[in-house]
């Protein structure tokens, strides 16, 4: 009996000791604020590491969007009627950039975590929980359930704000400064952040080709949103193309002849050369017009002759053939001396699982081009696109890994795979799919508008497109060896790449210095 009493008392004192060791957040008055990297992600309740992650300066070229996050934390009583302003970045000589665009970051709940992989997997899903993902423009009407701006912040919770800054073509290089102000019923917080503009410009039309698929598209708004983030809709109506090329950077479009060929290994006969030419005549000539003929047919052994026939007809009409599969040597000749496939689109998984992959890819790139894509990836270490994966998954592939392997484009199978209300439910349709698979944008109806809005993941994809552009400037100058050396700390291969925003920023700085000849 005495022994039981002793154990009970000991357990009580152990619990008391552990409780005393818990570090409690000191209370404060009014809002606390920090500025974070665009590649950071702030958990709703975290507080201990916030001071160590703050940044004071961002950098960009002209014709580039650069972003940062302004995090607002509430004291024990919460914050009410929070209003945020960010002044235009002003050059030391007086020039002002256009107003920044602000978004309130909306947290969504991931009910089941994504792919964990083996115990040695270096790119594990972070698991179920709350993640900032949907971006609500401050100018959106908002609703009582999902406000835009102003907003309240619950007690001891974070509310990040995404700040997009665009640097026009005529902006002078040098140092710019902006001041932010966060006002609330409980008090005000202010601060400054700097922007260094480098003395070179990114092209208005992206060098990276891409094909992002919109299902059940009813208005141009979804295409607007993709192009705003330097990603190409797979289908752009012919009557929009001239304007999109001139004003939105459109660089590619699908001719939309489909072989009805995917994992079932069926393959329709090709359209005639005359049919292809007739449709092509409606497209703009200063555009990559490709034909996305078949999808994920790597395991099909009966399609070689049909694929060659499609290639011959498309080539005679002047159209390159795009197929989602890893390059195959038997398709390097369509029967007329040209590769049957002009644009190979493959996932990192297909490369890693093929022992002869680099040799085959080298042969393919000598006669054609290749793009990367991702969908439902389950191999350890490779990039994966799920909400509960680290942000770098959405940036590294199309940027530095594409440059590492000499790939020139990016494809994604869907951007608007929504449940009835994705603002409440980001679970994918299939039990094994990660949350957010096939969904990069959110519908606008739940925030009082008709147009869709971006996710943080769409912003991170844009960052990767810009990374590709930095590399392409050097590649076009004949500095490919230097490029590969500079990006190696960020992207060694499909399985070895950084998740650290500081490493990415160091590489960007090195690339900018190389572009400037420093």
- pLDDT, tens only, 261-307: 988 899 999 999 999 999 999 999 999 999 999 999 999 988 999 99
Q: Let me know if residue 334 belongs to a domain.
A: yes
CA 147/CA 83 separation, integer angstroms: 12
Output the pLDDT for position 2.
54
Q: Tell me which residue of 134, 229, 234 sits closest to 443, measured CA to CA.
A: 134
pLDDT, tens digit, for every residue of 453-483? 999 999 999 999 999 999 999 999 999 999 9
Q: Please report which confidence band the pLDDT of residue 433 belongs to, taking 50, 70 and 90 as the band edges.
A: confident
Mean pLDDT of the chain: 95
CATH number assigned to the domain comprising residue 80: 2.60.40.10
Q: 8 falls in which pLDDT band (50, 70, 90)?
A: low
Residues 192 and 156 in one domain: yes
Assigned domain for 290 exists: yes
Average pLDDT for residues 488-505, to the nearest whole number? 98
What pLDDT is recorded for position 284? 98
Do 318 and 377 belong together in one domain? yes
Q: Quick one: pLDDT at residue 301?
A: 87
Specify the DSSP class assigned to residue 430: S
pLDDT at 230: 99
What's residue 308's pLDDT?
98
* pLDDT 10s digits, 438-453: 999 999 999 999 999 9
- 451 & 482 share domain: yes
Q: Is residue 17 part of a domain?
A: no
Confidence of residue 10 (pLDDT cuts 50, 70, 90): low
The residue from 129, 164, 198 where one domain ends is: 198
pLDDT digits (tens, 9 = 90+) for 153-200: 999 999 999 999 999 999 999 999 999 999 999 999 999 999 999 999
Q: Do both 192 and 266 map to the same domain?
A: no
Domain match, 273 and 376 both: yes
Residues 288, 385 share a domain: yes
pLDDT tens track for 377-429: 889 999 999 999 999 999 999 999 999 999 999 999 999 999 889 999 998 76
Is 5 inside a domain boundary? no
Residue 213, in any domain of the structure: yes
Count of the separate structural domains present in the chain? 2
Residue 15 has pLDDT above 80, yes or no: no
Predicted local distance difference test score (pLDDT) of residue 427: 85
- Are 246 and 287 contacting, i.e. CB atoms less than 8 angstroms apart? no
Tell me, yes or no, whether 127 lies in a domain: yes
- Judge if 51 and 174 occupy the same domain: yes
Cα-based distances in Å from 461 to 38, 391, 498? 11, 10, 16
Q: Are residues 281 and 420 in the same domain?
A: yes
Is residue 158 within a helix (H) or strand (E), and if so which, with residue range? strand 158-167
Domain that holds residue 324: 209-515
Residue 509 and residue 457 share a domain: yes
Could you tell me which residues come within 8 angstroms of residue 504 by beta carbon, excluding any fewer than 6 positions away? Answer: 39, 392, 395, 467, 490, 498
For residue 9, pLDDT over 70 is answered with no
Judged by average pLDDT, the poorest of 2-16, 20-34, 264-278, 338-352 is 2-16
- Asked whether residue 25 is assigned to any structural domain, the reply reads no
CA distances from 391 to 186, 387, 409, 462 (A): 33, 8, 20, 12
Say whether both 186 and 242 belong to one domain.
no
List the CATH number of the domain containing 279: 3.20.20
Distance CA 55, CA 24 (A): 25
Q: Single out the residue in 133, 167, 198 at which a domain terminates.
A: 198
Is residue 398 within 8 Å of 136, Cβ to Cβ? no
Taking the C-alpha atoms of residue 49 and residue 53, their distance in angstroms, rounded to an integer, is 7
Band of residue 21 on the pLDDT scale cut at 50, 70, 90: low
Boundary residue ending a domain (198, 222, 237): 198
Phi and psi, residue 190, nearest 5°: -130, 160
pLDDT of residue 50: 95
| Domain identity same for 269 and 167 | no
Asked whether residue 366 carries a pLDDT value surpassing 90, the answer given is yes
230 lies in the same domain as 94: no
Question: Does the pLDDT value for residue 7 go beyond 80?
Answer: no
User: Does 204 reside within a domain?
Assistant: no
């Amino acid at each position: 009996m005495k022994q039981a009493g002793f154990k009970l008392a000991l357990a009580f004192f152990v619990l008391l000791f552990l409780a005393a060791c818990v570090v409690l957040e000191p209370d404060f008055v009014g809002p606390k604020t920090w500025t974070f990297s665009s590649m950071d992600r702030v958990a709703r309740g975290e507080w201990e590491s916030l001071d160590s992650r703050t940044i004071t300066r961002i950098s960009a070229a002209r014709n580039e969007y650069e972003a940062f996050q302004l995090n607002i934390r509430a004291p024990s009583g919460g914050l009410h009627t929070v209003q945020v302003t960010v002044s235009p970045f002003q050059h030391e000589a007086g020039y002002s950039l256009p107003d920044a665009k602000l978004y309130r970051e909306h947290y969504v709940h991931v009910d089941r975590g994504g792919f964990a992989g083996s115990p040695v997997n270096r790119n594990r899903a972070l698991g179920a929980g709350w993640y900032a993902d949907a971006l609500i423009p401050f100018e959106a009407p908002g609703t009582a359930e999902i406000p835009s701006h102003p907003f309240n912040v619950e007690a001891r919770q974070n509310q990040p704000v995404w700040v997009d800054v665009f640097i026009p073509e005529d902006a002078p290089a040098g140092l710019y400064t902006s001041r932010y102000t966060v006002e609330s019923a409980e008090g005000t917080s202010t601060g400054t952040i700097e922007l260094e503009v480098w003395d070179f410009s990114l092209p208005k039309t992206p060098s990276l080709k891409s094909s992002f698929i919109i299902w059940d598209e009813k208005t141009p708004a979804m295409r607007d949103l993709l192009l705003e983030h330097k990603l190409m809709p797979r289908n752009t109506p012919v009557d929009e193309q001239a304007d999109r090329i001139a004003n939105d950077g459109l660089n590619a479009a699908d001719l939309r002849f489909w072989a009805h060929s995917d994992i079932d290994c069926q393959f329709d006969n090709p359209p005639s050369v005359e049919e292809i030419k007739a449709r092509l005549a409606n497209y703009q000539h200063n555009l990559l017009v490709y034909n996305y003929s078949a999808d994920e047919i790597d395991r099909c052994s009966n399609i070689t002759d049909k694929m060659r026939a499609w290639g011959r007809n498309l080539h005679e009409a002047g159209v390159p053939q795009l197929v989602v599969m890893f390059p195959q040597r038997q398709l390097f000749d369509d029967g007329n001396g040209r590769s049957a496939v002009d644009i190979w689109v493959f996932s990192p998984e297909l490369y890693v699982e093929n022992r002869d992959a680099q040799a085959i890819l080298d042969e393919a790139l000598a006669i054609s081009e290749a793009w990367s894509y991702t969908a439902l990836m389950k191999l350890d270490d490779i990039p994966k696109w799920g909400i509960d994966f680290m942000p770098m998954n959405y940036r590294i592939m199309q940027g530095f890994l594409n440059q590492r392997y000499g790939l020139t484009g990016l494809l994604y199978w869907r951007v608007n795979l929504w449940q009835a209300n994705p603002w409440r439910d980001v679970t994918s349709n299939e039990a094994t799919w990660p949350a957010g698979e096939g969904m990069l944008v959110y519908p606008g109806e739940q925030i009082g508008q008709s147009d869709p809005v971006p996710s943080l993941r769409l912003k991170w994809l844009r960052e990767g497109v810009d990374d590709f552009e930095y590399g392409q400037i050097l590649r076009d100058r004949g500095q490919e060896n230097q490029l590969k050396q500079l990006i190696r700390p960020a992207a060694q291969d499909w399985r070895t790449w950084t998740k650290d925003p500081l490493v990415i920023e160091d590489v960007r700085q090195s690339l900018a210095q190389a572009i400037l000849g420093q």
